[in-house]
Chain A
Amino acid sequence: MSIKVNALSKSYGKQKAIDNISFEASPGRILGFLGPNGAGKSTTMKILSAYLSADAGEAVICGLGIRDNALEIKKRIGYLPEHTPLYVDMYVKEFLAFVAESYGLKGIDLKVKEVITKVGLEAEQFKKISMLSKGYKQRVGLAQAIIHDPQVLILDEPTSGLDPNQLLEIRSLIRNLGQNKTVILSTHIMQEVEAICDDVVIISKGKLVAVSSLQELREKHRNSSLEEIFRKLTA
């Protein structure tokens, strides 16, 4: 188990964003993290990437408790935040070199080159990030999440707003990455879950409503599409 989430809770003021969430994720599997808008997916992911701290509960990543090992954990996690924040005044290569350097990586030029090939940014690599289209910005976001070859990948809506071609390319990239990493991705597209996820966690209004493998979920609700299952569980 490279991610173990145990009774995690977090409030913003009086509002409970997540309430007692527990699940596990293991290497070589892609976990789809689902839930309606405002369910608390991004909040959970921010906690897992040690960006925010939880109010209660603990997450253990690669055997390390998040509270006491934030720096160590950050080295092993790649995180693509929602809305893909980027320094848009930088050039693609320059930005990725900056990220590589902030991880203290050696052989930065080579690492940047490799990751650019991996996410398919060759044609855009000399452009300023502000000039890129949404899909290519998303690729830069993915590149900054994987440049240090992390064991765990946390992707918050990695395919939102992509055209069908880009969608397929990014999905197959994620599937490749998922072969030897632990991947958690959030999405609102059920087809995507069908296409690439092995496990499913569904939360609603901050509370856990389903944890299982995709297969088990389907068997439990025979004759329903994933969309129907989602609506039933989160209504």
Chain B
Amino acid sequence: MYAVFKRELFSLLNSLMAYITIGVFLLATGLLLWFFPDSSIPDYGYAELGSFFNLVPFLFIFLIPAISMRAFAEERREGTYMLLAIRPLTELQIILAKYLACLSLVVVALLPTLVYYFSVYKLGSPAGNIDSAVVAGSYVGLLLLGSAFVSVGILASSLAKNQVVAFALAAFICFLVYMGLDAAAKIFSMQWIEGLLNGLSVNEHYQSISRGVIDTRDLVYFFSFNVFFLAWTSFVLKGRKW
């Protein structure tokens, strides 16, 4: 499985798409934090990262599907999935290898943003006037959110015949689970439906972790979310005719 993971990460790092994606991500977050008048730290006057952590999930809705869309769709088009499927590997091992490779790329995209944290740390008056626990919690939240979106992207890539469809499908599902469930919760006045939809909403759990308190319920939620989509992918691959 490690061999497949290495190969996946290598091919992601060799693709222009990865660099465009990470570039766009850093550019957008950088602009938001340092230049845009409504949100930038120099104008706004408060040295904190709240606007950054609110923006990233929206960027992830588009950027993660762009990373994961290749995973299976490309192999299917090129006929190379065989090169994995005929080895003594289970579907789950292949799926996990691709999932972890995409997730590693998400980590690579997030790492440079630590610079924002250190800048804000220095800019605060007095220096260091930032709630580091909240920042740490928010990063954990972003990673979990990212992992959830990667699992969606992997599923979409196994369902779709081509990458563009995989991308669109994944972005749509990510949007739905991030925003849609929240919005739907507000429509219903019945409390138990509202509670249920909120309980299923990615945003709800992301916000909860971002407060800097890591609750096992949120961890269980993200874990189950990943398991659900990866198991679904495995089901799709077992039934494939290609």
- With contacts A98-B3, A98-B7, A102-B3 taken as known, whether A87 is within 8 angstroms of B86 at the C-beta atoms is no
Please choose the segment from A74-82, A178-186, A201-209 that sits at the chain B interface, where 4 or more of its residues have CB less than 8 A away. A74-82
A89 with B14, Cβ < 8 A, contacts A81-B82, A98-B3 known = yes
Q: Mark A54-97, 1 if CB is under 8 A from B, else 0.
A: 00000000000000000110110101010101110110000000
Q: At the interface, yes or no: B45 with Cβ under 8 Å from chain A?
A: no
Of chain B, the residue at the smallest CB distance from A13 is B241
**Does B140 belong to the interface (CB within 8 Å)?**
no
A104-B83 in contact (CB<8A): no
Q: Which residues of A contact B88 (CB under 8 A)?
A: 71-72, 74-75, 102-104
CB distance from B19 to the nearest CB of A (A): 15
CB contacts under 8 Å to A, within B50-101, are 78-80, 82-90
* B86, A49: Cβ atoms closer than 8 Å: yes
> Is the beta-carbon distance between A144 and B83 smaller than 8 angstroms?
yes
Q: How large is the interface on A (under 10, 10 to 19, 20 to 34, 35 or more residues)?
A: 20 to 34
List residues of chain B with CB within 8 A of the CB of A79: 82, 86
**B119 interface residue (CB < 8 Å to A):** no
- How many whole Å from B10's CB to the nearest CB in chain A? 8
A51 to B11 CA separation, bound complex (whole angstroms): 23
The answer to whether A86 and B80 have CB atoms under 8 Å apart is yes
Kindly identify which residue among A81, A99, A101, A103 contacts B79, using a CB–CB cutoff of 8 Å.
A81
Give the distance to chain A from B82, nearest Cβ to Cβ, in Å: 5
Does any Cβ of A come within 8 Å of B2's Cβ? yes
- Nearest-Cβ distance from residue B91 to partner chain A, whole angstroms: 10
Nearest 4 A-B pairs (CB), nearest first?
Answer: A101-B3, A85-B79, A74-B88, A102-B87
Q: Can you pick out 16 interface pairs between chain A and chain B where the beta carbons lie within 8 Å of each other?
A: A71-B88, A71-B89, A74-B86, A74-B88, A77-B86, A79-B82, A79-B86, A81-B82, A85-B78, A87-B80, A87-B83, A98-B3, A99-B83, A101-B3, A102-B84, A103-B87
